[in-house]
Amino acid sequence: MTNHKKTEKQDKVQHTVCMDCSSYSTYCYRCDDFVVNDTKLGLVQKVREHLQNLENSAFTSDRHRKRKLLENSSLNSKLLKVNGSTTALCATGLRNLGNTCFMNAILQSLSNIQQFCCYFKELPAVELRNGKTAGRRTYHTRSQGDNNVSLVEEFRKTLCALWQGSQTAFSPESLFYVVWKIMPNFRGYQQQDAHEFMRYLLDHLHLELQGGFNGVSRSVILQENSSLSASNKCCINGASTVVTAIFGGILQNEVNCLICGTESRKFDPFLDLSLDIPSQFRNKRTKNQENGPMCTLRDCLRSFTDLEELDETELYMCHKCKKKQKSTKKFWIQKLPKVLCLHLKRFHWTAYLRNKVDTYVEFPLRGLDMKCYLLEPENSGPESCLYDLAAVVVHHGSGVGSGHYTAYAAHEGRWFHFNDSTVTLTDEETVVKAKAYILFYVERQAKSGSDKL
């Protein structure tokens, strides 16, 4: 309805009477609408305002009710029954910022490797911003030219936010911004490979720690942690850091010329081992399938360390023969790390596509024995080669550029499933059925012996 004020020049109108309520109105051809007098308009306006107030009141009430329900459900989700008593679930999820599940799964896994996590949480905080932006929360974009960023600091703050129990989910936006700044391969919001991200993350943490942190040299910080002694360090790209002290191991690469028998040995440091799934197991299998042999982690480790004859595309340059010759290659592990990270090669290239090997690989929760893969097993102690599972990263889906990543991790004797912002308590039976992509095993301390793989 339109209310027109009287003007000197009247428009052509038509008077009408409503057949239902007998109210009198005028139709204006200019406005193509009915016109009512001011008195009737005032009543209509009051009715409209009253209805609007009722609607707003109902909406506000409903919104408060939903918020209260969410808060209650959030609180209830943070409580669980353990031995008949209710305890708080202190785990915190990570919000997905747009296909960032690959990052969330790795961060949750690393946060449950206690020695590694505690080191970063105990580092001093760094104030990177000063002047007008000091103390403010800033939202960064790709176009910003701020180079004053610290991966170590944002990684530290993210780890500190997890396992506090003060919130159900934490948004790692500041860390993701730093990742964009220093790791161009991960810019954008497309799905990425979790293993590739883990390697980039550890490498850049290692490099930044080598350069010092918050005015304190890396060597001083590392020496303050007495548990990371010099004998446990493995130098990669220069001086040792906590990254190499915990994840660093050493491989011996042994190559033999099949023509003259010349032997060549080379020592290579590693942060993780990438294991092929043997071709005879590359069929889709689940934990419950009984037809055919089941692939185990031992099969993958044996395939990695077994003697291998190099094909024509990998001929070895023999210094004695002074030309490329056929040869054999074998890996030995000279030094085991404190945390053994095993990456199962589930993605491989065909002619045009990168396909996924969806084979189930059986793995142990505790007692993984690595002694038989050592170069000098006689020099190792009885417990130094046993590892217990700390975390598992799982890829759900068919391709590396699609699908979804989640993680399972053990914390204070309980297993949790981390699915972005959702964290749920789970059991060992569920964990062992997962089709693992990355496995994190922690060296067992000298305690009671358990079942071995």
pLDDT for the residue numbered 319 = 86
69 phi and psi angles, rounded to 5 deg: -65, -40
* Inter-CA distances, 102 with 108, 192, 396, 402, 421, Å: 10, 6, 11, 11, 13
Does residue 208 sit within a domain?
no
| Tally of structural domains, the chain | 1
From the list 4, 140, 396, 404, the catalytic residue is: 404
416 phi and psi angles, rounded to 5 deg: -125, 150
Does residue 29 sit within a domain?
yes
Q: Which residues are registered as beta bridge partners of 355?
A: 348, 399
Neighbours of 21 (CB within 10 A): 7
pLDDT for the residue numbered 102 = 95
Does residue 270 sit within a domain?
no
Domain, as residue range, for 37: 15-52
Nearest Cα residue to 255 out of 302, 298, 319, 300: 319
139 phi and psi angles, rounded to 5 deg: -110, 120
Nearest Cα residue to 178 out of 97, 252, 117, 240: 97
How confident is the model over 300-337, as pLDDT tens digits?
A: 999 998 888 888 888 888 888 888 888 988 998 999 99
pLDDT for the residue numbered 28 = 56
pLDDT for the residue numbered 151 = 93
* Inter-CA distances, 281 with 193, 195, 278, 355, 400, Å: 23, 22, 6, 15, 20
Does residue 27 sit within a domain?
yes
Q: Does 101 participate in catalysis according to the annotation?
A: yes
Does residue 446 sit within a domain?
no
Compute CA 206 distance to the chain's CA centroid, rounded to the nearest angstrom: 19
- pLDDT band per the 50, 70, 90 thresholds, residue 231: very low
How confident is the model over 355-407, as pLDDT tens digits?
A: 888 999 999 999 999 998 988 776 666 567 899 999 999 999 887 778 899 99
Q: Does 404 participate in catalysis according to the annotation?
A: yes
From the list 101, 257, 318, 341, the catalytic residue is: 101
Does residue 45 sit within a domain?
yes
Q: Which residues are registered as beta bridge partners of 324?
A: 317
- pLDDT band per the 50, 70, 90 thresholds, residue 286: low
Task: Write a three-state SS string for the chain.
Answer: CECCCCCCCCCCEEEEECCCCCCEEEEECCCCEEECCHHHHHHHHHHHHHHHHHHHHHHHHHHHHHHHHHHHHHHHHCEEEECCEEEECCCCEECCCCCCHHHHHHHHHHHCCHHHHHHHHCCCCCCCCCHHHCCCCCCCCCCCCCCCCCHHHHHHHHHHHCCCCCCCEECCHHHHHHHHHHCHHHCCCCCCCHHHHHHHHHHHHHHHHHCCECCECHHHHHHHCCCCCHHHCCCCCCCCCHHHHHHCEEEEEEEEECCCCCEEEEEEEECCEEEECCHHHCCCCCCCCCCCCCEEHHHHHHHHHCCEECCHHHCEEECCCCEEECEEEEEEEEECCCEEEEEEECEEECCCCEEECCCCEECCCCCEECHHHECCHHHCCCCCCEEEEEEEEEEECCECCCCEEEEEEEECCEEEEEECCEEEEECHHHHHCCCEEEEEEEECCCCCCCCCC
pLDDT for the residue numbered 83 = 42
Neighbours of 22 (CB within 10 A): 7
Single pTM value for the model: 0.73
pLDDT for the residue numbered 436 = 96
How confident is the model over 105-144, as pLDDT tens digits?
A: 999 999 999 999 999 998 888 765 444 444 433 333 333 3
Count of CA atoms in the C-beta half-sphere (13 A) of 113: 25
Does residue 63 sit within a domain?
no
Residues of the chain with pLDDT > 90, as a percent, come to: 40
How confident is the model over 337-346, as pLDDT tens digits?
A: 999 999 999 9
Q: How far apart are the first and last CA of the chain?
A: 82
CA dihedral (441, 444, 450, 453) positive or negative: positive
Does residue 369 sit within a domain?
no
* 384 within 8 A of 336, measured Cβ to Cβ: yes
